[in-house]
Structure 1
Amino acid sequence: MSIRAALTQQCKDYLQHRIQRLKKSIQELESDLEGETKSSAGDKYETSREMMNAEINKLQQQLQEFRKLEEVLAVASQRKVSENIQLGSIVTTNLANYFLAIPVGELKFQTESYYGIGINSPIGKLMLGKTKGDTVFFQQQEIKIESVN
């Protein structure tokens, strides 16, 4: 399996895990909401239902965000290798390795660590369009781009 395929698969696994957790939480809240019975303390009942509905809405928004990340990852995985850093690039620097796709944190490939970052992240924005040999400055550190794949 190529490095790009392995990193992409790890990102997909991360997203699927998060999406499944969100769906399960939404289902549990909806089930609890259906099970709520109206008591003589009507205000307490309505407040409880509103809180559950607000939580469901919040989880549904998070679910939508993860769906958008799935779309971004699909585009990133289809990009052709370029000399310029773009969405989907694998970048090796003197300080760390990056996979410019979606923000997932640390990924592993064989013995190397890569950081899954979005192109809208502060370091992602700095790297976009750069090529091998370029330097960027981030948090008072000089980062030299050693390779772009």
Structure 2
Amino acid sequence: MELKETVYAECIKILEAKIANLKSEIDAVQESAISDTKSSMGDKYETGREVMMQERNRLGGQYDVYVKQLATLRNFDPTKSSEEVGRGSLVETDKGVFYISVPLGNIKIDDKLVFVISEGAPIAKAMMGMRVKESHTFNKQPYLIKSIK
């Protein structure tokens, strides 16, 4: 399997795991809120319930972000390559490998570190539309594009 396809599959796996974990946390908060209503009374109940609702909303917001990221990622074709850097590109530079998709941070594939970034990341914006053997400067550092997949 090509590196781009491996990175893509790993990103899908990471997001699916994050979504599953958040779903479990949301379920636990909801279960806790239900059991708390059975044993609490008065102001203590209202305060506890409010705290749980805030936590549920926070988790729900993060859940929505991950679901959207997964949907975005699934719109990419990991077998497709381009001559220019764009959304879904795996870009190898002289300073590292970047997968322009969703912001997941660094992942290690075999012995290669891949920076999984969104197209809104400043370094991604600096690379957009560039071709192999072109270079750009980011944070006063020159980056030479070695390959685009």
TM-score under structure 2 length normalisation: 0.91
Work out the percentage of aligned pairs sharing the same amino acid: 29
1:146 alignment counterpart: 146
| Aligned pairs (5 A) from 1:96-111 | 96-111=96-111
What is the CA-CA distance between 1:38 and the residue it aligns to?
Answer: 5.5
Measured in 1, the distance between the counterparts of 2:78 and 2:62 equals: 25
Q: Secondary structure at the match of 2:18?
A: helix
Letter paired with 1:9: A
Match of 1:10 in 2: 10
Could you tell me how far apart the structure 1 residues matched to 2:146 and 2:91 are?
8
For 1:112, the aligned partner's letter is K
Change (3 A) 1:39 1:112: closer
Which runs of at least 4 in structure 1 moved beyond 4 Å after TM superposition? none
8 Å CA contact 2:8–2:78 kept in 1: the answer is: no
- CA deviation vs aligned residue, 1:29-56 (integer Å, no higher than 9, x gap): 000000013544x122101101101110
- Three-state SS of the structure 2 residue aligned to 1:77 is coil
- Deviation, 1:109, is 3.2
- Aligned residues between the structures: 148
Q: What does 1:1-149 align with in structure 2 at a 5 Å threshold?
A: 1-36=1-36, 37=38, 39-40=40-41, 42-77=42-77, 80-149=80-149
Any unmatched runs of 5+ in structure 1? Answer: none
